[in-house]
Amino acid sequence: MTPTTETMVGIGGAAESTDMVLNIGPQHPSTHGVLRLKLVLDGERIISAEPVIGYMHRGAEKLFEARDYRQIIMLANRHDWLSAFSNELGVVLAVERMLGMEVPERAVWTRTLLAELNRVLNHLMFLGSYPLELGGITPIFYAFTEREELQHVMEEVSGGRMHYMFNRVGGLKEDLPAGWTTRARTAVADVRSRMDRFDDLVLGNEIFRGRTRGVGALTPEAVHAYGVSGPIARASGVDFDLRRDEPYLAYGELGDVLRVVTRQEGDCLARFECLLEQTHVALDLADACLDRLAELAPGPINQRLPKVLKAPEGHTYAWTENPLGINGYYLVSKGEKTPYRLKLRSASYNNIQALVELLPGTLVADMVAILGSMFFVVGDIDK
């Protein structure tokens, strides 16, 4: 029998069901950072998604082991560059816990105030950049106007605009400048008076609501499974906030001001609403801290430390409610002036894992809306 050869000369409409691999990033406008998403598509629908990370990895956790306890503050400052003060805070709280050190009351309240101002600065960036990713350019100009107002007072007190380096083991670098609290109170009031722009421009925009309502819904079960935290978790109905549930700094005394903002829908719109309302709460907390600082008698802002600071042998874990979620430091000491091990648990690293669950089944057009609503910083993923 003569063998036959079968040749296919055209596949016609069958090509529409062929899977295609699409790389979003690592350099791509929609990833707002050096993140790569490997998508498998069936037409316009995403079948699977794989975040590919590590493009900004700098080995910070290994570098911690070669720096003393004063120097690691600078390293920890930078992984989430929008939350520099809060990043510093976790390190010094861990070291102070190892030392059994009590921090002066004035430092406790000042730290709380600056942490909340830093939270507002972080949230304003995303309140402006997220609408920009969906095609709305105006909100980011307003967001940067408000950020400048607050950055002026943060720069005055610390000397830095983004990387403040103002925390120290035992307190803060120095006391507040004369008249600073008055200027800070004015800045907070000014920003609060203009926050309704985001309600009018963004939440009141039917195109924005159409692009975000019901899109990228994250279930509470997925939140727990992936370790998602912060405003993204609370938008899915997970009512957890370390400031209330395991208070640190002065948050235990601010229970009447601190409101934990939650939503039940878990979609892109709910995440944005949580971020916006949480900004209002942070401004209220900043005012409450300013009120308390005005009542405090003059006193020290830090503790005197030995020339060579050594933490006793042991280990501890200090976690804080950073603007983007839970930030934790696991510190292991062998009694030397450098950490034996310092493991960083960053919020963005856990939060971005949920994309594996969120993106499959959605359209490519919705991918940008979902990705932007995760509110991550790539340095916080890669560290």
Domains detected in the chain: 20-52 (no CATH), 60-381 (1.10.645.10)
pLDDT digits (tens, 9 = 90+) for 113-147: 999 999 999 999 999 999 998 988 999 999 999 99
Of 76, 86, 118, nearest to 285 (Cα)? Answer: 118
pLDDT digits (tens, 9 = 90+) for 350-373: 999 999 999 999 999 899 999 999
CA distance 101 to 117: 25
Question: In the prediction, which pLDDT does 27 show?
Answer: 72
Record the tokens describing residue 379, joined without a space: 């340095």
CA distance 202 to 382: 31
Contact 240, 229 (CB under 8 A): yes
Question: Any alpha helices (H) in 134-258, and if so which ranges?
Answer: 138-158, 180-193, 196-198, 206-212, 220-226, 231-234, 242-245
pTM confidence score: 0.91
Question: In the prediction, which pLDDT does 221 show?
Answer: 95
The parts of the chain modelled with pLDDT lower than 50 are: 7-15
CA distance 69 to 306: 12
Of 283, 152, 264, nearest to 214 (Cα)? Answer: 264
CA distance 383 to 54: 8
